[in-house]
Amino acid sequence: MKPLFLILAGVTAQTEKLRVIAFGAHPDDCDIRAAGTARLFASMGHAVKFVSVTNGDVGHHEMHGPALAQRRAAEAKESARRLGIEYEVLDNHDGKLLPTLDVREEIIRQIRKWNADIVLAPRPNDYHPDHRYTGVLIQDAAYMVVVPSLVPEVPALRKNPVFLYYEDNFQRPNPFRPDIAVSIDSVIDAKIDSLDAHVSQFYEWLPWVDGRLSEVPKDPAGRKAWLKRTRTRQINPTVRASLLKWYGSEKGNATQYYEAFEVCEYGAQPNEARIRQLFPMLK
Ligand SMILES: [Zn+2]
């Protein structure tokens, strides 16, 4: 019986269904930083949920308020459909997010209800106050998700998830560290499709803010090619080193598109073997 048990235990370990929850301040933030990784998880049968902590109701130059919030919720839903994941938009106002106790408890509820193994969030030193406070809110929840007497209506988690930060370019107080780099070459078009669902952002608001509205192609295929060109990053040496560590020299050197994550000091601290269990695409 013992060998059989070991085989079954091995199968169980390999088919562990992972539960990933990603937080962004606005309905498109998770997509920018993690849509490729989300698509890889989903295609392997794992469960992914994106949560926008605000409803995005000021992110446009021609519309705002409930009409914009409704439009962006529909875009998020379409992005989720294309990725094969869930998406929820919380009803906090865009541009006005604060790390209050109420919102912290909303975050705790979300992480507990999803029974998350992995939680993704922005670092708390981003340029945008909503991004920054989303980072703070998730940090503030990182220990509290295991405290049963807090938010008692949703059972506390018995094990703390691994908390990871998205990549950014901010250097102070410390630059982003790519502890994990995921090759997304096989799903880059799915990622572009998810961004393409956020029409109000990638083809209207963000180019308008940058003074580049006239550069946006009019035809659907041209738009996606333009997104792929302008919304992907060059691989810097620290990211390349991380890709080589996780994938070995052949795939590590060949990778063109990636998403990277930094392990937060709060929450569970995974060793290399645990990271490979949590990110089964790293091979
Ligand atoms: Zn944002």
CB 158 within 8 A of CB 146: yes
Q: Measured between alpha carbons, how far is 187 from 258 in angstroms, rounded to an integer?
A: 10
For residue 78, the tally of other CB atoms under 10 A from its CB is 17
Q: Which residue has 């009019």 as its token pair? A: 218
Amino acid at 55: N
- Ligand 1 centroid, distance to 266 Cα (angstroms): 23
What are the tens digits of pLDDT across the range 39-83?
999 999 999 999 999 999 999 999 999 999 999 999 999 999 999
Amino acid at 88: E
- Ligand 1 centroid, distance to 256 Cα (angstroms): 25
Buried b (16+ CB within 10 A) or exposed e, 80-91: bebbebebbbbe
pLDDT in 10s for each residue of the chain, 283 residues: 334 344 444 444 456 899 999 999 999 999 999 999 999 999 999 999 999 999 999 999 999 999 999 999 999 999 999 999 999 999 999 999 999 999 999 999 999 999 999 999 999 999 999 999 999 999 999 999 999 999 999 999 999 999 999 999 999 999 999 999 999 999 999 999 999 999 999 999 999 999 999 999 999 999 999 999 999 999 999 999 999 999 999 999 999 999 999 999 999 999 999 999 999 999 9
- CA triplet 10, 248, 181: central angle to 5 degrees? 85
Q: Measured between alpha carbons, how far is 48 from 83 in angstroms, rounded to an integer?
A: 9
User: What pLDDT score was predicted for residue 8?
Assistant: 43
- Ligand 1 centroid, distance to 44 Cα (angstroms): 28
- Ligand 1 centroid, distance to 127 Cα (angstroms): 10
CB 162 within 8 A of CB 268: yes
- Ligand 1 centroid, distance to 73 Cα (angstroms): 14
User: What pLDDT score was predicted for residue 183?
Assistant: 98
CB 185 within 8 A of CB 228: no
- Ligand 1 centroid, distance to 23 Cα (angstroms): 11
Pairing of strands 86-89, 118-121: unpaired
What the block records as the tokens of 175 is 């630059």
Closest CA to 50 of 100, 119, 98, 113: 119
End-to-end CA distance of the chain: 32
- Ligand 1 centroid, distance to 24 Cα (angstroms): 7
Q: Which residue has 């094969």 as its token pair? A: 84
- Ligand 1 centroid, distance to 166 Cα (angstroms): 12
Rg (CA), the chain: 19
- Ligand 1 centroid, distance to 76 Cα (angstroms): 13
User: What pLDDT score was predicted for residue 14?
Assistant: 53
- Ligand 1 centroid, distance to 149 Cα (angstroms): 32
Q: Measured between alpha carbons, how far is 154 from 114 in angstroms, rounded to an integer?
A: 11
Within 8 A by CB and 6+ apart from 57, the residues are 64, 65, 66, 68, 69, 72, 93, 94
CB 56 within 8 A of CB 89: yes
- Ligand 1 centroid, distance to 218 Cα (angstroms): 24
> What one-character-per-residue DSSP string does 44-55 give?
TT-EEEEEESS-
User: What pLDDT score was predicted for residue 16?
Assistant: 85
Q: Measured between alpha carbons, how far is 22 from 121 in angstroms, rounded to an integer?
A: 6
User: What pLDDT score was predicted for residue 5?
Assistant: 40
Q: Residues within 5 Å of ion ligand 1 by Cβ?
A: 25-26, 29
- Ligand 1 centroid, distance to 170 Cα (angstroms): 15
